[in-house]
Amino acid sequence: MTDQPTLRDGDLVLRPWTLDDSGVTRPLHDREIARWFDFPVVEPSAQEHREWILRTATEWSDRTKATFLVEWRGQPVGTVDVRMQDPAVGVLSWAVYAPYRGRGLAWRAVRLLVEWAFDALDLQRVEAHVNPENRASVRTALRAGLRREGLLRGNAALAGVRQDTVVLGRRREDAHPDTREGFTAMLDSTLPTKRAIAQGVLRPSSPDSPGTGHVLLCELVYKREWDLPGGVVDAHESPAACVVREVREELDLVVTAGPLLAVNWLPALHGWGDATVFVFDLGTIDVDLVERARLQQREIRGVHWTGPDDWKGRVAPYNERLLRALDTARGHDRGTIYLEDGTPVS
């Protein structure tokens, strides 16, 4: 049996536990860890913690489980493990101590463990079983490249109460989460099968500045094409409320959803399922106010006033068709336009 290895990703290190770690890590247990692992006490006794550390070495020798201490910049920050469910499937678990949460260490550690498990343990699949109320752990699994696969209703008990479990998984042949295909598949697994998108048309307050027929488009971080401001409608949220929220979150602008200009059905494309897009008139806004907008940096690279001559090559073809249909209908009081794939349907 080979010795348990040490894994590295820059300033993040996964290494075997030793008894010397007990005194430092035992006081770092808190109510959050005790809650989700259903521990009877917040902080284990010194003997219990040492016995657990010794057990991790036995489990490694038995090839039943690989448990690693997570170190960040030389400090112990948590633990991560993979339990062999059968020779080809591993079940993941992790915890980060309170002082180190919110730094992205959990998903980095889990992803490092997953990549090693596929290679060194020859696993074909890894999975995680997470309480849906533990949103931080669900996000960790997703960022580590796992996909949401389903909900097991009432299959577990937590503090004596039956609880649901979200199952997330990643197969060895899945596209890597750093690729467009892998990221899309991960995100798509979390969204409704029939999704709704709400977008809005903002025009400059002066018809001569920056130009007649101009609308505001967002230059996005995660895709090449520019798009109208807006986003995916949350569960139990109206499209009108969504577009107001998205503009506030992404551009820090307060708008009102006006008349519904268009409904555009989009067929499945680039790994996404089909969607229905609701396009609202958001009125006019001062050009200078847009230039001073505080953008949500992880999604929006920039905003631009654009006219018909700017759209070709900058927006997706279906959005170019939509924008030209809206431009043609502007000022003719034609009511709401219905489109499929950006093409008006009579």
Domain spans in the chain, listed from the N-terminal domain onward: 7-188, 195-344
Helices (H) and strands (E) in the chain, counts: 10, 16
d(CA 31, CA 29): 7
**Does the pLDDT value for residue 210 go beyond 70?**
no
Question: What's the CATH fold of domain 195-344?
Answer: Nucleoside Triphosphate Pyrophosphohydrolase (3.90.79)
Share of the chain above pLDDT 70, in %: 98
How far is 83 from 129, CA to CA, in rounded Å?
A: 12
- DSSP letter for 43, please: S
7-188: CATH superfamily: Gcn5-related N-acetyltransferase (GNAT) (3.40.630.30)
Distance CA 306, CA 215 (A): 6
Instruction: Please determine, for residue 232, whether its predicted confidence score (pLDDT) is greater than 60.
Output: yes
Separation of alpha carbons 46 and 25, rounded Å: 10
Phi and psi at 168, nearest 5°, equal -125, 140
- Pairing between β-strand 75-86 and β-strand 89-96 as defined by DSSP bridges: antiparallel
As a three-state string, the secondary structure of 6-22 is: CEEECCEEEECCCHHHH
Give the chain's end-to-end CA distance (angstroms, integer): 71
Predicted confidence (pLDDT) per residue in 92-110, tens digit? 999 999 999 999 999 999 9
Q: List the structure tokens of 169.
A: 């998984």
User: What does pLDDT average to over the chain?
Assistant: 93
State how beta strands 260-266 and 275-285 pair: antiparallel
Hey, is 210 helix, strand or coil?
coil
Quote the CA–CA distance of 137 and 109 in Å, as a whole number.
Answer: 12
> Would strands 275-285 and 195-204 be described as parallel, antiparallel, or unpaired?
parallel
| Mean pLDDT across 200-211 | 77
Query: Does the reported pTM lie above 0.75?
Result: no
Reported as a single tens digit per residue, the pLDDT across 2-54 is 899 999 999 999 999 999 999 999 999 999 999 999 999 999 999 999 999 99
